[in-house]
Structure 1
Amino acid sequence: MSTSGKYVVGKLRDVGFSIHLADPSMISLIFNTGKKNDKEDSYKLAKLLRLGALSEVYLPSKYSDDLRSLVRYSRSFGESITMIKNRVHAILTSAGISIDATDIFGKKGMKLIIRSIDHLSTAQRYILGDLLDQITYLMRKESTVEDEISRSVINDRSVNLLMTIPGMGIYSSAAIMSEIDNISRFSSKEKLASYAGLVPRQNQSGSSDIRGHITKHGPSMLRFIMVTAAHSIIKYSDRLKRKNLSIVKRLGKNRAIVAIVRILIETIYTMLKNGTEFIDRTDALTERKMVSMRSRASKPH
């Protein structure tokens, strides 16, 4: 939906209208006719709506829409930071400098970089210093956005439930809920998995039923967060760790992590539907996350 479309939806909602947003990918097939104008299109849309045959796109709540904006804004900082870090790596590599640190942008790594600047040209020193300043600035801005996310979700029961999953913090829990919005709009865990694009493609004809790779339909942000969370959770949950190792032996690492993501999204459905915490939660870890969220939410704007 366009920016102006969001404005119109907001105004209509404010005065009590029930909004129905047509799915453009389906409508284009229906309205591909010789006679096409605003009046005809409006009539056809109204007729489809009356017959219950209008393919619609879900409209998120104002709360979820705002939360989604914050989450995606925060991710844009992360992407910018990654790009700048790659440029730092390139400068160091071009000068033959190797930093012996797990994280070269941590305290130890930064000290080693500073000790190595004598091996850089004047131009390289200037660019490196400017890039490191940009990283510091963007990380600080990213942190303030995540503080705002904490303020937004501190009383959100669903986000608090998801934070009981090991490896899933404030940001990832908020990101998932901003995409799911209201769990009651999904009638089953399979429907949620399909919405996330985590079900296999199917090509069925007669007795032939071919299953392919996952569809990857739906919000890419949700899949990105789910894959990241799956890599973490197999380190904490003994049950999912065993499941992952079992699938790796049969199908390999890549297909195994996709299977874990599918299990995780279906687990999330059950948690949100029943209001239950994660079965393999680590209470001490969950409490640390909750304390961190309360601390960040209490910071001044």
Structure 2
Amino acid sequence: MDVHRAFAQIAILEDGKVIDEQRLDLVQDKVVAFGRRLRLDDEVVLEATGNTAAIERLLRPFVSRVVIANPRMVRAIAYARVKTDKIDAITLARLQASGFLPEVWAADEDTVRRRRQAAERMGLLDETVRLKSRIHAVLHANLIPKYKGALFGPAGRRWLAAASLPEHERLILDRLVNELQHTTEQLAALDRELACLALADERAVRMMTVPGVGPVVATMVLSAIGDISRFESPQKLASYFGLTPKVRQSGEGPARHGRISKQGNGSVRKMLVEAAWSAQSAPGPLRAFFARISAKRGAAAAIVATARKLTVLIWHILAKGQVYAFARPAFQAMKLRKVALKAGAPREYGKAGPGRDYWIKEIRHREMDYVKRAEDAYAKMVDAWRQVPPKVRKKTC
């Protein structure tokens, strides 16, 4: 099936020959009717696109397999000067029949739901940034000086309402502020849903033991990963998020490593970088790692390397069922309590909750001293590496 927005071009291959070609309108009833005409031992092939998940879900009960192809790799394998929908559909069928089709994982229902929520959150976040930029543009165009404080907080909103603007500019600003308020409320409601998902998922709770990883980051990463068993190593997971460097090598020349590939889910990669910024500000080995790379390559390269290190930690946590070795129990309890409050848990005044220990100065400082010793141990280990003289290769004749 060569899938488009409103239709799919279908080529049916049997015993190496095309026995039928047809066009199918991508409407639920017609897709189900087409599925009923197939045999239980048939295989359906389609490229990964926006409506692939819906087609896969509708056809899955009627065939043995629904195979989803990687569109990037299909183009590389089946490049043709003459390209039509019919040729593309036949190519997909023949690649599958010959065993050369680059296949991607078909997400289960729970993962698809999580991915939709993650995509919706990123859309709301982008809309929030856009509205704030437009509000700043209105103020700049009317020579309104910058507000000293949080412009979009309660005091800032009152300042915006009292700003001296022409009538038509005031109407624009009020409309933008109202849209921002509505979008912010939608984002907060979605964050409550994500917080509930994170608390109900043991994997997300373990991931939140890592500094910088909160309920949103944990849920978005899990939505992208799905089943961790499909990644054999942490390097595979880092490559899936586009956090591994490009490599160019040919002939006898040395391999050249460039910038990160940026393949895969860009939204999750962005969230991991933001989590890395938070993690490098907390005491522990991650901060020492960031400092080491930053001194050598600069902060920009160091934060990407830290995001990759976070990905490695996440793989070990999910694949081995472990928690972060340098997690602070009191801080973790306080962190989970805040997530529970965001999810809608009632406040319990006058009663010591699970995060009480964090607010006891002695306990908090004791935990911080523990992770600080781990940070210092990492720095000493790096110094020991640097003191070892480089190996001198013997010349051979």
Question: TM class by shorter-chain length?
Answer: 0.7 to 0.9
Give the match for residue 231 of structure 1: 277
Structure 2 regions of 5+ residues with no counterpart?
A: 1-47, 346-397
Q: Please tell me the residue identity of whatever aligns with 2:91.
A: D
Instruction: Out of 286-295 and 206-215, give the one that drifted further.
Output: 286-295
- Aligned in 2, Cα 1:46/1:199: closer, same or farther, shift over 3 Å? closer
User: Which residue of 1 is the match for residue 190 of structure 2?
Assistant: 145
Give the one of 65, 81, 84 matched to 1:18. Answer: 65
Tell me the residue number matched to 1:248.
Answer: 294
- Could you tell me how far apart the structure 1 residues matched to 2:257 and 2:54 are? 41
- Mapping for residues 199-210 of structure 1, pairs under 5 Å: 199-205=244-250, 206-210=252-256
Superimposed CA distance per residue, residues 130-166 of structure 1 (whole angstroms, 9 cap, x where no aligned partner): 2111111111111122223334443222111112222
Out of 192, 200, 206, the position equivalent to 2:237 is 192
Residue 96 in structure 1 maps to residue 144 in structure 2 = yes
Indicate the SS of the match to 2:246: strand
Paired position in structure 2 for 1:85: 132
Matches within 5 A, 1:25-104: 25-32=72-79, 37=87, 40-41=90-91, 44-49=94-99, 53-94=100-141, 95-101=143-149, 103-104=150-151
Give the drift of 1:190.
0.9
Contact 1:166 1:285 in 2 (8 A): no
Distance 1:296 1:18 in 2: 41
**Matched residue pairs, number?**
293
More strand by share: 2
Letter in 1 for 2:147: I
Match for residue 159 of structure 1?
204
Secondary structure of 1:20's counterpart equals strand
Please report how far the alpha carbon of residue 30 of structure 1 lies from its aligned counterpart in structure 2 after TM superposition. 3.7
Amino acid of the structure 2 residue aligned with 1:257:
I
- Alpha-carbon RMSD across the aligned residues, in angstroms, is 2.4
Asked whether the equivalents of residues 238 and 312 of structure 2 are also in contact (C-alpha less than 8 Å), the reply is yes
Structure 1 counterpart of 2:290, one-letter code: N
With the length of structure 1 as denominator, give the TM-score of the two structures.
0.87
Query: Using a 3 Å threshold, how does the CA distance of structure 1 residues 283 and 126 change in structure 2: closer, same or farther?
Result: farther
Q: Give yes or no for contact 1:166–1:282 (8 Å, CA) kept in 2.
A: no
Question: Among the aligned pairs, what percent are the same residue?
Answer: 26
Q: Which one has the bigger helix percentage?
A: 1
**SS in structure 1 of the partner of residue 326 of structure 2:** coil
Cα pair distance change 1:4/1:214, threshold 3 Å: closer
Runs of 4+ in 1 over 6 A off after TM superposition: none
Question: Quick check: 1:88–1:128 contact (8 Å CA) kept in 2?
Answer: yes
1:246, distance to aligned residue in structure 2 (A): 2.0
Q: Is the radius of gyration larger for structure 1 or structure 2?
A: 2
Q: Which has the higher contact order (CA 8 A, sep 6+)?
A: 1
